[in-house]
């Protein structure tokens, strides 16, 4: 079926075949579990249980950054498990979210009342928190700060719908922008990236917002079926009386107008994405960040003006995803991918679309930014066959992540940067 979907794209068939033949099973870096403490081994076990694709991707990060991002992920996964658990009454949940960052320094704190599937990260939180305290101070400060700010933001939106476009940005900041900012600070703290990467919070926030908005746009129907609403009222109320109206065929033209408005809003973050990625020097960090971004713009291109968004979840082809990830190994290639999909979107813009002028304007800005010359002097542009094979595996794993049916509000690191 995957090969059939890629007919007309021979390069996708080749790359998908290459992946399915197992050409990259032995090249991913392997962790030295024997040298780890028992609690750290358990943390990696939790990582595999809660996000197998992310567990594989994290192994490609260099040095001590690997452990820091692992613990960062688990802390936010535990926080997110509290937020997602609808069986916890608000009178208890709100204080938990506000105070969660303090539990990192309480060796015995755990929570045994959750009914969520990932409740083990709460029940055995002492194992995670002890490894948090084993991290360097520079990493602990980042993780604790982001955990605190995210918990406060989650509490704010527990009973609050996303109304204005400004609130949409704010919600996406809490659940994804903060993750991008935290990761960026971890990259700089590891000294694998310049301090500027961690300091520029606006660019890091845009990385997260672009991914989160893409997920929210794509997941319209699934969220509606689950009783969730993340499309901002300021946008959809211009075209319908109720958000659920868009799933009805007679409202298709209005639904597409709102969809295109939101895609246009998401696209305004792409110039920041280009600037952010151009600053990265370390190859493992670059791949970690670039993979979900190129997947996102490909997904937005697939969603733009597409009625299928209101009939199911729009997914890019597996072969397309594998090809994208194999190619997104340097800045020049990423710029080319962004140009390709921005041009695809441009070709779909209807003369009668209400957002037409804004869409064409932001696409013009993206094209101009993507065509600008970026000088990278510290990161190799040509990868060895071994690293390229690893990129194939990262491609497939990232495809599994991006196409998983996850709540748009879930805190997933790969959903952020």
d(CA 385, CA 378): 20
Decide: residue 58, CB within 10 A, 0-12 exposed, 13-18 middle, 19+ buried.
buried
Q: Which of 62, 69, 66 is nearest to 281 (CA)?
A: 62
Question: Exactly one of 288, 304, 310, 401 is catalytic; which is it?
Answer: 288
d(CA 111, CA 120): 9
In the chain the first and final C-alpha atoms are separated, in Å, by 30
Per the annotation, the verdict on 228 as an active-site residue is yes
Are the C-beta atoms of residues 248 and 233 closer than 8 Å to each other? no
Are the C-beta atoms of residues 74 and 47 closer than 8 Å to each other? yes
Stretch (H or E) spanning 59:
none
Question: Exactly one of 54, 171, 239, 246 is catalytic; which is it?
Answer: 171
Q: Which residue has the tokens 């013009």?
A: 364
Per the annotation, the verdict on 288 as an active-site residue is yes
Distances from the Cα of 357 to the Cαs of 21, 205, 232, 270, in angstroms?
46, 26, 21, 17
172: helix, coil or strand?
helix
Q: Which of 280, 287, 297 is nearest to 383 (CA)?
A: 287
H helix runs in 21-161, sequence order: 38-50, 52-58, 65-84, 90-99, 120-123, 125-134, 137-156
Name every residue whose Cβ is closer than 8 Å to that of residue 34 and which is 6 or more positions away in sequence.
none
State the DSSP string of 82-100. Answer: HHH-TTS-HHHHHHHHHHG
The first and second tokens of residue 77, run together, are: 């996964």
Stretch (H or E) spanning 370:
helix 356-371
329: helix, coil or strand?
coil
Q: Which residue has the tokens 């055995």?
A: 124
Q: Which residue has the tokens 């509490």?
A: 155
Residue 293: phi, psi to the nearest 5?
-70, -45
How many Cβ atoms are within 10 Å of 312's Cβ, its own excluded? Answer: 10
Per the annotation, the verdict on 218 as an active-site residue is yes
Question: Exactly one of 77, 140, 218, 317 is catalytic; which is it?
Answer: 218
Residue 89: phi, psi to the nearest 5?
-65, 150
Per the annotation, the verdict on 187 as an active-site residue is no
The residues that are catalytic are 171, 218, 228, 288
């Amino acid at each position: 079926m995957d090969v059939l979907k890629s007919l007309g794209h021979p390069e996708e068939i080749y790359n998908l075949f290459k992946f399915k033949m197992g050409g990259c099973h032995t090249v991913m870096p392997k962790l030295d579990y024997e040298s780890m403490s028992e609690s750290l081994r358990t943390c990696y076990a939790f990582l595999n249980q809660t996000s197998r694709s992310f567990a594989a991707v994290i192994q490609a990060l260099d040095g001590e950054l690997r452990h820091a991002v692992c613990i960062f992920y688990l802390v936010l996964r535990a926080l997110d498990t509290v937020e997602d658990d609808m069986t916890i009454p608000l009178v208890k949940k709100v204080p938990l979210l506000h105070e969660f960052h303090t539990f990192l320094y309480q060796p015995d704190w755990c929570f045994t009342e959750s009914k969520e599937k990932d409740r083990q990260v709460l029940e055995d939180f002492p194992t995670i928190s002890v490894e948090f305290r084993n991290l360097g101070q520079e990493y602990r400060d980042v993780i604790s700060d982001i955990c605190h700010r995210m918990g406060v933001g989650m509490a704010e939106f527990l009973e609050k719908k996303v109304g204005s476009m400004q609130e949409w940005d704010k919600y996406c900041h809490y659940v994804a922008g903060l993750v991008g900012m935290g990761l960026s600070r971890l990259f700089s703290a590891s000294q694998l990236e310049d301090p500027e990467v961690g300091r520029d919070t606006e660019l890091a926030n845009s990385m997260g917002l672009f991914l989160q908005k893409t997920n929210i746009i794509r997941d319209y129907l699934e969220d509606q079926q689950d009783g969730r609403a993340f499309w901002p009222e300021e946008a959809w109320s211009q075209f319908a009386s109720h958000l659920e109206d868009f799933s009805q065929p007679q409202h298709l033209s209005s639904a597409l107008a709102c969809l295109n408005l939101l895609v246009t809003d998401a696209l305004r973050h792409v110039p920041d994405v280009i600037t952010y990625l151009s600053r990265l020097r370390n190859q493992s960090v670059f791949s970690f960040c670039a993979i979900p971004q190129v997947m996102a713009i490909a997904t937005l291109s697939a969603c733009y003006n597409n009625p299928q968004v209101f009939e199911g979840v729009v997914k890019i082809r597996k072969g397309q995803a594998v090809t994208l990830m194999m190619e997104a190994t340097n800045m020049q290639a990423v710029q080319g991918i962004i140009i390709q999909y921005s041009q695809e979107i441009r070709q779909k813009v209807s003369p009668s679309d209400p957002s037409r002028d804004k869409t064409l304007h932001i696409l013009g800005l993206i094209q101009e930014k993507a065509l600008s010359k970026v000088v990278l002097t510290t990161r190799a542009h040509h990868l060895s066959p071994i690293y390229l094979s690893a990129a194939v595996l990262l491609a497939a794993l990232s495809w599994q992540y991006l196409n998983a049916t996850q709540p748009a509000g879930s805190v997933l690191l790969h959903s952020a940067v």
